[in-house]
Amino acid sequence: MKDLLDQLVEQSRMVGANESLVLWGGGNNSVKTTATDLLGNPIPVMLIKSSGSDMKTITPKQFPAVRLDYIAPLRKRESDMTDEEMVDYLARCLLDPGGARPSIETLLHAFLPPNAVLHT
């Protein structure tokens, strides 16, 4: 997963450095992969840019891994979530409980079919 994370950081910095593509460090990117839990079991995760991170200067720690197996059930949820409820829920989906806060666009990236997403 480290190689994939390094590629994601490099991609972010390259796009973020081009001021004709990105305004105020904005944009977002993510990649879906597999990690292992504390017991060594494979789990689907998504590395996504953390909330408020600048693409031009982003570091690996600013790409928290969120568990896709925890996020997937939200797609079938029939009632709306407030922004506060969603932020709280996403914090519980972190592979590393002390990790950076995932982007508010986490659900959008998780529900899109491609394994990798980049937008400005």
Please state, in angstroms and rounded to a whole number, the distance separating the CA atoms of residues 63 and 8.
9
The chain-wide mean pLDDT, for the chain, equals 91
CATH number of the domain where residue 58 is located = 3.40.225.10
Which domain range does residue 78 map to? 2-119
**Cβ contact 50:64 at 8 Å:** yes
In this prediction, what percent of the chain has a pLDDT beyond 70? 98
At residue 38 the predicted structure's pLDDT band, cuts being 50, 70 and 90, is: confident
Rounded to the nearest angstrom, the gap between the alpha carbon of residue 68 and the centroid of all alpha carbons in its chain is: 10
pLDDT tens-digit readout, 24-35: 757 899 999 999
Average pLDDT, stretch 33-40? 92
pLDDT tens-digit readout, 77-96: 877 889 899 999 999 999 99
Please state, in angstroms and rounded to a whole number, the distance separating the CA atoms of residues 25 and 44.
28
Helix (H) or strand (E) run with residue 69 in it: helix 68-71
What is the predicted pLDDT for the residue at 55? 92
What is the predicted pLDDT for the residue at 25? 58
- How many independent structural domains does the chain possess? 1
Question: Looking at the predicted structure, is the pLDDT value of residue 45 above 80?
Answer: yes
Burial class of residue 54 in the structure, from the number of CB atoms within 10 Å of its CB (0-12 exposed, 13-18 middle, 19+ buried): middle
